[in-house]
Amino acid sequence: MNFRRNINIIAVITGVVLGPSSLSAANASQPPLTWSAIAFIVFGCLFAGLFVIGLQILRKNKKYGYYTLRFFEPISIFMLGSGIGASVYSVVKEELGPSSVLFIAVGLGLFLSVAVSSAFFKVRHRSAL
């Protein structure tokens, strides 16, 4: 348990540090992002994460679902951290726009899919965790 916590802490710190470079990547998107696209991105990442993780959980061998959850958890936390770093950087620069919350939207969708999939995994494989 201590190892997972350390990995998640490293993921969030790395994400926050790399936030400004993530912001420049989001600003370069073509066509430019709009505020209405952010909700679509959150739900798209939520459903995509549920689909990918859910397929692994539905397999007979529980190790595939377990490792998929453990793989997606730090990725979603990294994306959230990167989004927080990009948003804080854009607020300091007074340039808050839809591209500055893009990675928060992606990270939030993935994190919610990991949380829901984890609950589904616990129900499907009661003795695995």
Q: Does residue 129 belong to any structural domain of this protein?
A: no
Average pLDDT by consecutive 10-residue portion of the chain (129 residues)? 82 84 76 85 93 91 91 91 87 83 90 93 76
Q: Does residue 106 belong to any structural domain of this protein?
A: yes
Domain total of the chain: 1
Rounded CA separation 55/49 (Å): 10
Rounded CA separation 56/83 (Å): 27
40-57 b/e with 16+ CB inside 10 Å = b? ebbeebbeebbeebbebb
Q: Does residue 55 belong to any structural domain of this protein?
A: yes
- The pLDDT of residue 128 is 52
- The pLDDT of residue 11 is 85
Tens digits of residue pLDDT in 26-59: 777 767 788 888 899 999 999 999 999 999 999 8
Total-model pTM: 0.83
**Structural domain boundaries enclosing 93:** 2-24+35-124
Owner of token pair 């998107």? 29
Q: Does residue 44 belong to any structural domain of this protein?
A: yes
Q: Does residue 29 belong to any structural domain of this protein?
A: no
